[in-house]
Amino acid sequence: MHRRLTDLYQNLSTNPVIPDVLPQTLIELGSTSEIVNVAVQELYQQNEELLLTRNLLEIERQRYQDLFEFAPDAYLVTDMLGIIKEANHTAGTLLNVSQQSMLSKPIINFVALEDRQNFRGYLSQLAESKKPKELVLHLHKRNDELFDAAITVGVIRNELRQPIGLRWLVRNISDRNQVELALLDHDSDVTQNKLWHKCSKGDFLPLKPGMIWYICEGYVKLNTLYESGEEVIIGLAGSGMVFGSNLTSLQAYQATALSDVKLVSIHLAEIAASPTLSHILLPKINQRLWQTESFLLIAGRRRVQDRFEQLLLLLKHEIGQRVLEGTRLNIRLTHEELASACCTTRVTITRLMGKLQQQGKIGLDSKHHIILKDTAEFSTEESAKASTVGGSPDLGFWRSEVKRADKFAF
């Protein structure tokens, strides 16, 4: 338009006025004015659309900012080294620090000291991760209060798929764990909707790969066999305990009912799929580990008498029942079975039992069940008592005893 007007002015200034020039000029100006008016209308409409788009974007930005800021879980954004770039309000509340003071700080500052080494190794591997990772850590607040945290970590990537940062979702699960523990009914949760199996005394229990047994009632003897065919007892499982071929590396492994038994089978796939079931069974598996180490300690003692007395104390803890005279062993074990647990002969066990009876340390009831007298003092009793805290044996004691045991005693 400006170029056309300039040409018209130049023509008027250099050429004499011709009668038809002025109408032509007016026509050109009118046409140009119309073009300008249309352009202005289009620009105005585009400007209105841009303003509307900007307002919508601002609303969306504020919406997502609020979702980030007031999310019910702590949310942080860090670089690949774990330096905090963003943190929402919940994160500051959870860690008991202000949001601003968290910025530019390493996230590892909030990890408990005992977990930091593993956390550094975990952090270095995140760049290669293609899916969000989950972990459970001990975090501490500014006042050094520790809590259990479930963390989900995702990698932020640019348009070239290169890692440029990390997103952290943090949840405090301490209270949830305590509530779940309070609500757990171990027996009902394990046996719910399961078929009960019943076995009579003396029956062999089938041991199948990928499955463990949970005992509801009764006692089961666990044993292995030497190449010579000699039987060795390696454990006793009672009510509330578990056993199975997946819990041992022994090739020869047998389970025999010492009484009438009721039990249920649990597949390993069920345990993997149920955190509650895993939580219930872990202490029971740990109980089997403790008992195995206890039998190892017994075998490591040099003197046969010490091994036998230690076995009696173990049986007292595992299958003992309080009676008027002392503690009665609920299961009657033969001299041969006692001998195999003590790595000695049946004749030696018979002699030692006679000696302990003469000393008044043990007795027999009408069904020939052993009774450990309250007044009896065994040479190994004090050490056994020292290893028990709150009715639960201390594995550290057993391990230290095993290390001190003479390796040739086996």
Residue range 327-336: mean pLDDT, rounded = 88
Residue range 131-144: mean pLDDT, rounded = 85
Give the integer Cα–Cα distance in Å for 356 and 335: 14
Q: Per-residue pLDDT tens for 305-322?
A: 999 999 999 888 888 888
Q: 3 or 393, which is more confident?
A: 3
Least confident of 71-75, 225-229, 319-323: 225-229
In the CATH hierarchy, which top-level class contains the domain 301-410? mainly alpha
User: What global pTM score does this model have?
Assistant: 0.52
* H/E element, 212: strand 211-217
Residue range 84-95: mean pLDDT, rounded = 90
Domain 70-180 belongs to what topology?
Answer: Beta-Lactamase (3.30.450)
Q: Per-residue pLDDT tens for 258-290?
A: 889 999 888 888 888 777 788 788 888 888 888
Give the integer Cα–Cα distance in Å for 340 and 376: 24
Q: What is the CATH number of domain 186-277?
A: 2.60.120.10
pLDDT above 70 (res 15): no
pLDDT above 90 (res 79): yes
Q: How far is CA 321 from CA 290, 326, 386, in A?
A: 20, 8, 21
Domain ranges of the chain: 2-63, 70-180, 186-277, 301-410
Residue range 160-185: mean pLDDT, rounded = 75
Q: 176 or 10, which is more confident?
A: 10
Backbone angles phi, psi at 97, to 5 degrees: -140, 160
Residue range 194-223: mean pLDDT, rounded = 88
pLDDT above 90 (res 84): yes
Supply the pLDDT for residue 13: 65
Q: How confident is the model at residue 78 (pLDDT cuts 50, 70, 90)?
A: very high
Give the integer Cα–Cα distance in Å for 55 and 52: 5
